[in-house]
Chains A and B, each alone.
Chain A
Amino acid sequence: MYLLDAAPAVPLDLILGVVLFWLLIGVAGVLRPRSLRFVSRLLFPLGAVGSVVLMLAALLAVRVPPVVAVLPLGLPDLPFHLRLDALSAFFVMLVGAVALGVSLFSVGYFRRGEGALPGLLCLQYHVFLSSMVMVMLADDAYLFMVAWETMALSSYFLVTTSHRIAEIRRAGFLYLLIAHIGAIAILLCFGVMHGGGGDYTFDALRASELPVFWASTAFLLALFGFGAKAGLLPLHVWLPEAHPAAPSPVSALMSGVMLKTAIYGFLRITFDLLPTPLWWWGVVTLVLGLMTALFGVMFAAVQSDMKRLLAYSSIENIGIIFAGAGLAIIFHAYSNPHLAALALVATLYHCLNHAFFKSLLFLGTGSVLHSTHERNLGKLGGLIRNMPWVAGLSLIGALAIAGLPPLNGFVSEWLLLQAFLFSPGLPNPYLNMLVPLGSAALVLAAALSGYVMVKFYGVIFLGRPREEKLNEARDAGIWERLGLAWFALGCIVFGLFPMAVILLLDHVSLPLVNFTLSAAVSGNSWLLFAPVAAERASYGPLLLLLGITGTLLVTFVAVRVFYHGRTRRGAAWDCGYPEQTSRMQDTAEGFGQPITQIFEPFFRVRRQMPDPFSSEPVYAKTNEDHLWYWLYLPIARANERIASWIGLLQHGRIHLYLLYSFVTLLALLLFMH
């Protein structure tokens, strides 16, 4: 620490150094684009080293005061402004942490003959990482948009790695389209905040005193723009298409970090750049977030493609994060810094957790995909025998995402629930009554996500293999295991030592809502974690772990010693079915069936029932998204209709075209006259 006191700019220099280093690695990849050995044995490990440096530098930067810098790049008279404060440092740390695991995993992941050349992939991958860091560091709207668009474009190319498949091209197009619509909204948001005076540095935007109407407009534009990137309802449609299309490490990065850049942007604008928020901003965010969470988890439960399932689960988690942000806005608007800090810390904590467990699971599906060439849950099963490492590490991720203690998913959801349950302290009677209802929705989403994870894990890894070829599946290599283990370690550590994370997040919440939880936390012992007051609620993860381990041990010993002491061996009762095949297991569709039944109005279900007398019965069922038909297709059709009206102008006769310009010229001349 003494080193940092002497030179507070060191972390920023280090981070910029890593960005430059990554870009160089990317360029190096292009020099020998065909050599898989060179790219994956040398460049990706080097990139991983860079991410370690990045993560540590950002970890230090969270604790020091903000540092600003001006890069002499960009347009003349329009240099890039940089600023590294606690919020950016936290998210940069997220980038570094996830990039470390994903880069390690990628060393062993990319194979010859899959999609793009390894060198190109390396370039796009590292440009993608660098642009995300630059988004966090940007201190003017100009650099922010440049980095934001670089991020969108590089990730587009990563998504369309296997661009020879039409479906993947379509997914990529949809992604690019929505990313650009969102970017336009963000651009407009900056324009509104700018208000016609000064320049576009964030300092100028902070200083501009917006009237309430324009501040609200800017907020809604930001919600729309960043929501499009994050996958907020109803702009989520690209997520379940793009994630399965991308290679698994890319899905992990996109879901783990790229969605968080949207959260970062949203928090930056709402809490930092705009004036004190209005309460209804928070309500809008909260409601949208809860709807997104429920929608995502419902659709995740009925998917039968493992990566689509995870993509919908990402939508759910983004919904939870936005709900937390909305709650923080409400508390902040009513000047309740303690609860605002609680909600904000829960939100940031969930960002961190989601980055870890979702990356872990996406990488796990990558390993499964590579050894089985199968994404369809209906053709997987029983992989725990052949792939014990992947199965074991994925189990940690699945438990964490399901929100089970003592892993990390539980902590953030518990914190968020605390924030919800304290809302009766608000001075608005309607919110008093309605916000606790939101907590019910949150609990429902959390419970359903547990259901989803049982399905995900059970169908892939447990039971018996549903196909012959699964018996030849091989476990992941050492590099892939390393990547997975890094994320699994994160899930455990953040679950067991929440106080350490909270102390870190306090540095982030302090400048945004002027309050820290550290007083509340440090007042208690390290064993017991109580965010508000020990008598209201407290949580001791280590104690819980001790309890769980103890109970397990006692049970194990008891069963082993006392029960097994009088075991009889005999033929198992086979339920009257002498021959059991792997097809008699519960399928992914079967497991999701209750959800389809209960929430049928939310799905657009299409069933193809077999004829009772058919000798080759076929049963098929698809669950589609109503929003696609109610919102997107009408817009697309309207667009087409308008285009065809405009097409009427096109006659192919050059005289008419000349006449158009002639009439325009005359009209303009007359007008100017």
Chain B
Amino acid sequence: MSTLSALPAMPMSVQLINLMASLMLLIAFAMLAQRRIRSLIYLFAWQGAVLAVNCLIVAWYTGHGELYLSAFFTVLLKVIALPLVLHYLIRKLDIQWDVETLINIPTTMLAGIVLVVFAFNLALPISQLAGTITRGTLGIAIAVVLLAFLMMITRRKAVPQVIGFLAMENGLFFAATSATYGMPMVVELGILLDVLMGVLILGIFFFHVREAFDSLDLKHMEKLKESGE
């Protein structure tokens, strides 16, 4: 938080945005630590909600009208639609409970902390160049992306990986709003649509995977490689 403390007196807007950013990071860590898929989906929905609120705050203070629309779509898709789809999926597939991780949780958390430090270090020169009111949050955005990536790596089952993928997208979206007040509307809508499509396709895919392997455990896919070696 070195960049933030360097500022002499923070106006209300910056304080609010920093609050949202820390909530994002907190939820990202919570997702990393969470074993249950159902709770993971709740956390994902919460992250979407925080993202939307952040979007609203930025829109209010900067007067960028289209960010209201962004916030609306974020709520629609990431707080309502995607969690519903995911809930439906895990109910149908009957995988609501604990999932094992490849690496135990404390180790993962430690790795996460290293990543956050790395992300802040990375974002330092960029945020010093940026002129936006949200510049201090760029490091957090990168950290959220990396933490989501880490979650994808450490989970053994397929559904948490999809959630990790979606959380990565959240991080990117957060980075976009914090660095440049959001992407152009066309790009944003395109990405949202892509994410929705991706989840739908993956959902169908899960059913087929389970049909073929009787499980969604990814270790069954290890045989899908060139034999003989």
Contact = CB atoms under 8 A, between A and B. Distances in A.
A78 B1 CA distance: 53
Interface stretch (A169-177, A242-250, A467-475, A662-670): A662-670
B153 A658 contact: yes
Interface residues of B, number: 22
A669 B122 contact: yes
A644 interface: yes
Nearest to B145: A665
A669 B222 CA distance: 30
Contacts of A648: 229
A620 interface: no
Interface in A97-131: none
A653 B225 CA distance: 9
Which of A658, A665, A669 has the largest count of B CB atoms less than 10 A from its CB? A658
A669 B152 CA distance: 19
Contacts of B153: 655, 658-659, 662
Contact of B229 (A647, A658, A665): A647
A654 interface: yes
Interface in B83-136: 102, 118, 121-122, 125
B149 A652 contact: no
A666 B118 contact: yes
Nearest to A650: B225
A654 B216 CA distance: 13
A564 interface: no
A451 B167 CA distance: 78
A566 interface: no
A651 B149 contact: no
B226 A651 contact: no
Given A662-B153, A666-B118, A652 B221 contact: yes
A673 interface: yes
Main secondary structure of the interface of A (DSSP, over half): helix
B155 to A, nearest CB: 8
B222 A655 contact: no
B229 A654 contact: no
A651 B229 contact: no
B150 interface: yes
Nearest to B152: A658
Nearest to B124: A673
Interface string A636-654: 0000000010011011111
B149 A665 contact: yes
Contacts of B80: none
A651 B225 CA distance: 7
A673 B218 contact: no
Nearest to A673: B122
Given A647-B229, A652-B223, A662 B149 contact: yes
Which of A647, A650, A653 has the largest count of B CB atoms less than 10 A from its CB? A653
B3 to A, nearest CB: 16
Contacts of B121: 673
Contacts of B161: 654
Nearest to A663: B153
Interface string B137-162: 00000000010011011101000010
A655 B154 CA distance: 7
B201 interface: no
A648 B225 CA distance: 10
A541 B18 CA distance: 98
B12 interface: no
Given A658-B149, A659-B153, A644 B229 contact: yes
Interface in A446-503: none
A189 to B, nearest CB: 36
B224 interface: yes
A644 B219 CA distance: 22
A654 to B, nearest CB: 5
Contacts of A658: 149, 152-153
A651 B222 contact: yes
Contacts of B221: 652-654
Interface in B159-178: 161
Contacts of A653: 218-219, 221-222
Contacts of A655: 102, 153-154, 156, 218
A650 B223 CA distance: 11
A654 B156 CA distance: 9
Contacts of A654: 161, 218, 221
A650 B226 contact: yes
A30 B167 CA distance: 53
Contacts of A659: 153
B152 A647 contact: no
A673 B125 CA distance: 9
A441 to B, nearest CB: 48
A284 B161 CA distance: 60
Contacts of B222: 651-653
Contacts of B156: 655
B154 to A, nearest CB: 7
Nearest to A655: B153
A658 B149 CA distance: 8
Contacts of A670: 118, 122
A25 B154 CA distance: 61
Interface in B38-70: none
Contact of A652 (B118, B150, B224): B224
Contacts of B146: 662, 665-666
A234 to B, nearest CB: 31
B145 to A, nearest CB: 9
A656 to B, nearest CB: 9
Contacts of B152: 658
B219 A647 contact: no
A651 B152 CA distance: 17
B116 to A, nearest CB: 13
B112 to A, nearest CB: 13
Contacts of B154: 655
Nearest to B149: A662
A662 B150 contact: yes
Contacts of B218: 653-655
A662 B118 CA distance: 13
A654 B205 CA distance: 15
A669 B120 CA distance: 12
Nearest to B119: A669
B190 to A, nearest CB: 22
B135 to A, nearest CB: 17
A284 B152 CA distance: 58
Contacts of A662: 146, 149-150, 153
A652 B227 CA distance: 11
B97 to A, nearest CB: 21
A652 B225 contact: yes
A670 B123 CA distance: 11
A648 B228 CA distance: 11
Contacts of A669: 118, 122
B75 to A, nearest CB: 29
Contacts of A673: 121-122, 125
A654 B226 CA distance: 15
A666 B153 CA distance: 14
A183 B62 CA distance: 57
Interface in A610-658: 644, 647-648, 650-655, 658
Contacts of B149: 658, 662, 665
14 contacts: A644-B229, A647-B229, A650-B226, A651-B225, A652-B221, A652-B225, A654-B218, A655-B102, A655-B154, A662-B150, A669-B118, A670-B122, A673-B122, A673-B125
Interface of B: 102, 118, 121-122, 125, 146, 149-150, 152-154, 156, 161, 218-219, 221-226, 229
Given A647-B226, A658-B153, 13 more contacts: A648-B229, A652-B222, A652-B223, A653-B218, A653-B221, A655-B153, A658-B149, A658-B152, A659-B153, A662-B153, A665-B146, A673-B122, A673-B125
Nearest 6 Cβ contacts at the A-B interface: A652-B222, A652-B225, A658-B153, A650-B225, A655-B153, A662-B149
